[in-house]
Amino acid sequence: MAQLSILRYPDPRLHTVAAPVKEVDDRLRRLVDDMLETMYEAEGVGLAATQVDVHQRVIVMDTSEERNEPRVLINPELIAVSDEMVVGDEGCLSVPTVYDAVQRHAKVTVRALDRDGQTYEMAVEGLAAVCVQHEMDHLMGKVFVEYLSPLKRERIKSKMLKRSREEQKRR
């Protein structure tokens, strides 16, 4: 397994719409394993392939307390969403140290393929529901900061660009 580089906002590649996976093969399973390793190492609860510059519809997540329940969603699609909405602070591995309130459906049901290419459905709520919606946004080329006001978005963009320049100087 290998740790992958996570794209940072405002990298334009984060706005690429992911293509459906045509075949679940060893190459894709290796990507899934690498994504899980990357997500755990970065202490995230979810990661979309778009964030590691692979533009295919693949998500990994683990919202368990013990961090021992990895989930793989290949070609995910929301098949049901609740009318009830929740607002909670979200963060993102592509926008480190930034958290802000985003409104999401309280419960969702998603249909996807697992690591072996088998179709399954999963009904989730709470953090898992937020995570599914957040990561599916990534597959559509959307970063959570796009739910925020233009002023907040611009401040975050400036902060991320400044941090990137400082990191470049240190190298």
Q: What is the pTM of this model?
A: 0.96
Q: What is the pLDDT of residue 56?
A: 98
pLDDT above 80 (res 52) = yes
Q: Please give the annotated binding residues for Fe cation, written as ranges.
A: 92, 134, 138
pLDDT above 90 (res 99) = yes
Catalytic positions: 135
Q: Please give the annotated binding residues, written as ranges.
A: 92, 134, 138
Q: For 57-71, what is each residue's pLDDT tens digit?
A: 999 999 999 999 999
pLDDT above 90 (res 3) = yes
Reported confidence tier of residue 89, pLDDT bands at 50, 70, 90:
very high
Alpha helices for the chain (secondary structure H): 26-41, 126-139, 150-170
Q: What is the pLDDT of residue 1?
A: 74
Q: What is the pLDDT of residue 69?
A: 97
Q: For 100-109, what is each residue's pLDDT tens digit?
A: 999 999 999 9
Q: For 108-147, what is each residue's pLDDT tens digit?
A: 999 999 999 999 999 999 999 999 999 999 999 999 999 9
Among 98, 91, 90, which residue's Cα sits nearest to residue 162? 98
Q: What is the pLDDT of residue 171?
A: 79
**What Cα–Cα distance (Å) separates residue 66 from each residue in 33, 61, 63, 134?**
18, 13, 9, 21
At which residue do the structure tokens 């739910």 appear?
147
> Domains plus CATH for the chain?
12-170 (3.90.45.10)
